[in-house]
Amino acid sequence: MNDLAITPADIEAAAQRLHGVAHRTPVLTSHTANTRAGAQVFFKCENFQRMGAFKFRGAYNALAQFTPEQRLGGVIAFSSGNHAQAIALSARLLGMPSVIVMPADSPAAKLAATREYQQGQAHSEVVLYDRYTQDREAIGRQLAAERGMTLIPPYDHPHVMAGQGTAAAELLAETGALDLLLVCVGGGGLISGCAVAAHQQSPGIQVIGVEPEAGNDTQQSLARGEIVHIDTPKTIADGAQTQRSGDLTFPVIQRLVKGIVTVSDAQLVRTMKFFAERMKMVVEPTGCLGAAALLEGVVQARGQRVGVIVSGGNVDMARYADFLSSD
Amino acid sequence: MNDLAITPADIEAAAQRLHGVAHRTPVLTSHTANTRAGAQVFFKCENFQRMGAFKFRGAYNALAQFTPEQRLGGVIAFSSGNHAQAIALSARLLGMPSVIVMPADSPAAKLAATREYQQGQAHSEVVLYDRYTQDREAIGRQLAAERGMTLIPPYDHPHVMAGQGTAAAELLAETGALDLLLVCVGGGGLISGCAVAAHQQSPGIQVIGVEPEAGNDTQQSLARGEIVHIDTPKTIADGAQTQRSGDLTFPVIQRLVKGIVTVSDAQLVRTMKFFAERMKMVVEPTGCLGAAALLEGVVQARGQRVGVIVSGGNVDMARYADFLSSD
């Protein structure tokens, strides 16, 4: 794996940095899930991670490796999703400023949550931009230059990828060898880190990625042998509305991921209900991708030991209530 | 504690019986909860227990101690709630018949869930009765006589109480000594078992019970020094709609529980939202009692190490969606 962006040693080092800072999230099982899949299923519950998603792992691992100069300047990130909150929280824990650049029309709850994570940390703020008239890259470049800030992207960064891989590393340390690991795919940060960890700890494991039907760019990319760029997909899985894999994540996926399957929004909603009703967990639509592929029969795993990464649980409560009460 | 219905040794024996059968449920923490309470809070998540509530512990512990003759006859229980499902599942696991006597107007989902747990177990059924015209005690006595079945009550039984106590035993084994333990109170099976375990494993701990405002029979009973009987209370905490403490549970509560506080239905709904939004957990109204007392400021615990038993997560999804979307 030497020519890939990360190695198993990077993930072990990330695990050291995260020790005592990130939650070691529980691995839960369900007799109903086992029966339905005809398999032994282990859910790694990153919805119980700090700030509600695996993104904390990668963000903290990246920021913890800043030089003293970088710490002084702080971190900048573009995001209206889980990456924003992960960066804001990690920066505060490490005592550095953070600027999160978000669209002015982001949901009020997300703005509030991000600001809450920045609380008490000097020189930290949310900078709003008009997504129709302003260029967020230009805003970012200007802020970075003026304030000496370092940009951390949401997935295409070795430290981010290595941090995300600790989720699979913890899962496998708890379960022992698995036959199959199902991971949701957006930009590929989570699955690339998890694939490296999984192949190290469980030789022979098959890692399969799951994308929303409407946003199967990585599936297309694997078929074409090069990164395919798509329009922003329309799906309830907002964490997987990426337009393309990363330059660093895609080669890892090519090498270590067996294949990509897709699931529909209707399958995600049914899986969200399954998690609420049977496993008593709030899981956001993106977090349901891996489980949906298994429970809806898209992936066959009869008789196998299967790991599923449940990536996060950040979903607006009114929207969530609508999902639960829909037919 | 020699004159009480259960001893710490009974709880240890129950833990042995439940080992590998019950889930060892996770203990979760939340920075937001800690901040709000000014305390270090440990949530013992029995909503992740088999069949979705702590009730499995007591039911299985009772049925596992049946004599060969009792096993042959099987178990009978009156319940439309978590006790029904706990008995049905435990009986199937132990290979004995179960008859659950439920009101004919029970929610269809509860009937279906109970029948699902009985699946594949011969001579097992749900017997419906008309709660306005029929005497369920008479039905039960007749069935017990005809079929040689043993009645297991939902809380007032030493084996049930000892089983429930394993929840606190596991919590304290994981957290070490605590200053305070908050437990919901219906008939007193959970809190009596937990109080015995807690005082054994964490001398000096204060155990406080939490009842719904509308159904504070145990609070009244403690004040009067004898068991007070109330009308079935109107509260969303359906697991705590009991009319009186048990003859076996009350003496334990008198001896080992520091006091009882109450919370309103509105406080339960806010706590249910807190669990969903911040901790990504589905918790039924009754399961919110302990946490509500702490997070709503009914109990002060600044600077303390606090355990909270989250008793269950069985709530109809349509009703749950309504709670989440209410103001």
* Domains of chain B with CATH codes: 8-53+157-325 (3.40.50.1100), 56-151 (3.40.50.1100)
Cα separation, B126 vs B109, whole angstroms: 13
Mean pLDDT over residues A156-171, rounded?
A: 98
Checking if the pLDDT of B1 tops 60, the result is no
Mean pLDDT over residues A97-125, rounded?
A: 90
For chain A, give the mean pLDDT: 95
Cα separation, B160 vs B42, whole angstroms: 24
Which residues in chain A touch residue B29, judged by CB atoms under 8 angstroms apart? 23
Contact B28 A31 (CB under 8 A): no
What pLDDT is attached to residue A291?
98
Q: Which residues are registered as beta bridge partners of A322?
A: none
What pLDDT is attached to residue B246?
96
Active-site residue, selected from the candidate residues B140, B311, B312, B313: B311
Cβ burial, residue A70 (10 Å; 0-12/13-18/19+): middle
Active-site residue, selected from the candidate residues A46, A170, A211, A296: A211
Q: Is B165 a catalytic residue?
A: no
Cα separation, A54 vs A56, whole angstroms: 5
Amino acid at site B132: Y
What pLDDT is attached to residue A2?
62
Cα separation, A18 vs A12, whole angstroms: 10
Q: Which of B269, B273, B275, B280 to mutate to test the interface with A (most CBs of A within 10 A)?
A: B280
CA distances from B158 to B18, B140, B196, B310 (A): 16, 21, 12, 22
Q: Which residues are CB-neighbours of B22 under 8 A, at least 6 positions away?
A: B49, B50, B56, B57, B60, B166
Checking if the pLDDT of A79 tops 90, the result is no
Q: Is B211 a catalytic residue?
A: yes
- Pick from B241, B62, B51, B245: which is nearest to B165 by CA? B62
Which band of pLDDT confidence, cut at 50, 70 and 90, is reported for residue A132?
confident
Checking if the pLDDT of B30 tops 90, the result is yes
Checking if the pLDDT of B67 tops 60, the result is yes
Cα separation, B239 vs B186, whole angstroms: 6
Torsion of CA A200, A203, A205, A209, to 10 degrees: 30
B127-137 per-position pLDDT tens digit: 999 988 888 88
Which band of pLDDT confidence, cut at 50, 70 and 90, is reported for residue A1?
low
Which band of pLDDT confidence, cut at 50, 70 and 90, is reported for residue A109?
confident
CA distance, residue A269 to nearest chain B CA (Å): 13
ipTM for the whole predicted complex goes beyond 0.90: yes
> What part of A 40-59 touches B (C-beta under 8 Å)?
47-48, 50, 52
What pLDDT is attached to residue A251?
98
pTM for the predicted model, two decimal places: 0.94
User: Residue with structure tokens 């029929």?
Assistant: B134
For chain B, give the mean pLDDT: 95
